[in-house]
Structure 1
Amino acid sequence: MRKLVYGMNLSLDGYITAPGDDLGWSEPSDELFQWWLDQERAIGLFLYGRRLWETMSSYWPTGDQQPGVTPAQAEFARNWRETPKVVFSSTVGEVGWNTRVHTGDAVDEITRLKAGDGEPMRVGGASLAGAAMRAGLVDEYEIVTHPVLVGGGTPFFTAVDSWVELNLVETRTFPGGVVLTRYETKR
């Protein structure tokens, strides 16, 4: 069975984007960016909701060709293009970069994918991750908290139907007061 990971940068008050989908508060240090790259290299399949797909696909297909790109950013772009991806949407049309669109029930498809063998999967996008959380499919949470309050936006967590008990498996501090907490779901 494959592991399903949900992790993103979030503000101290729990948002992955500020009002207006502003991400300006979450600029990673080189050390944090390298950590994210290392995490992404271990993922065998990315699962995206429409909005996160649009954000990622607007930059990373050519991220390694941008002016001033760092070696880690270039490697992130190459890894992003090469890693298989599924976009869960009924409105996204044509996709590229090793990606397919799934228009059916997201929870059923994630359950099917999770039941197979392979490397871990990462779910991204608050709505899609929320559905996976409510279905009890998320095995690990990677929470990278930035020391900023944004006052609203898109929350990282969604309401769940019952308690989800977690085990803390890692903490780490990055430059600028950014803190990683990584949890595994108790089963």
Structure 2
Amino acid sequence: MRKLTFGMNVSLDGYIAAPGDDLSWGVSSDEQFQWWSDRVGATGLALYGRRLWETMSSHWPTADQQPGATPAQIEFAGRWRDMPKVVFSSKISTVDWNTRLVTGDAVTEITRLKAEDGDFMDISGATLAAAASRAGLIDEYVLVTAPVLVGGGTPFFTALDNWVNLNLVETRTFPGGVLMTRYETRR
């Protein structure tokens, strides 16, 4: 059975995007960016909601071809393109870059994917992750917390039907006071 992880950059007050989908507060240090790149390189399958897919696919497929692209950005772009991905959406009709589209019930498909053998799956996007969390499918939460209060926007955690008890399994500090915390779901 595959492990399902939900991990994203998050503000100290719990948002993955500020109002207006502003992500400018989450600029990564080189060390933090490399950590994310290494996670992408190790991910067996990435699960995306439509909005985050649109954000990522508007930049990373050609980021390595842009003037001034750093070696780290070039590496990340290649890893992102190569990583198998599933996008869950009923609003788009095509996807690209080693990706397939699922228009049906996300929880049913994620449950099926978890039952397969393979490396861990990463789920991204607040709405998709909330559905998986409410269904009890997330095995691990990774918060990369920036020392900023954005005051609103898209929350990392949405309302749940029940408590989810967690065990802290790892912490790491990045430059600029950014703290990574990794928790496993206690079952």
TM-score bracket for the superposition, by shorter chain length: over 0.9
TM-score by length of 1: 0.98
Give the Å deviation of 1:66: 1.7
Equivalent residue, structure 2, for 1:154? 154
Q: Is structure 2 residue 166 aligned with structure 1 residue 175?
A: no
Mapping 1:41-120, distance limit 5 Å: 41-120=41-120
RMSD over equivalenced CA pairs, Å: 0.7
Instruction: Please identify, of 37-46 and 142-151, the stretch whose mean Cα deviation from structure 2 is larger.
Output: 37-46
Moved more, 155-164 or 19-28: 155-164
- Residue type of the partner of 1:157? F
In structure 2, the residue matched to 1:5 is 5
After superposition, give the CA deviation of every residue in 1:52-88 in whole Å (9 maximum; x if it has no partner). 0000000000011122222121111101111111110
Q: Quote how far apart the aligned CAs of 1:42 are.
A: 1.1
Task: Give me the TM-score of the superposition, normalised by structure 2.
Answer: 0.98
Secondary structure of 1:93 counterpart: coil
Give the aligned partner of residue 24 of structure 2.
24
**Aligned partners of 1:98 and 1:27: how far apart in 2?**
26
Q: Which amino acid aligns with 1:60?
A: W
Tell me the amino acid that sits aligned with residue 67 of structure 1: P
Q: Which letter does structure 1 place at the counterpart of 2:131?
A: A
Say how many residue pairs are matched: 187
In 1, Cα distance between the equivalents of 2:65 and 2:141? Answer: 31
What's the secondary structure of 2:46's corresponding residue?
strand
- 1:128-139 matches, cutoff 5 A: 128-139=128-139
Q: Which runs of 4+ in 1 moved over 4 A?
A: none
Q: CA deviation at 1:94?
A: 1.5
CA shift digits 1:103-155 (9 cap, x unpaired): 00000000000000001000000000000000000011110000000000000
Distance 2:79 2:146 in 1: 25
Consecutive unaligned residues in structure 1, runs of 5 or more: none
Q: Distance in 2 between matches of 1:185 and 1:66?
A: 40
Mapped to 2, the partners of 1:77 and 1:183 lie a distance apart of 27
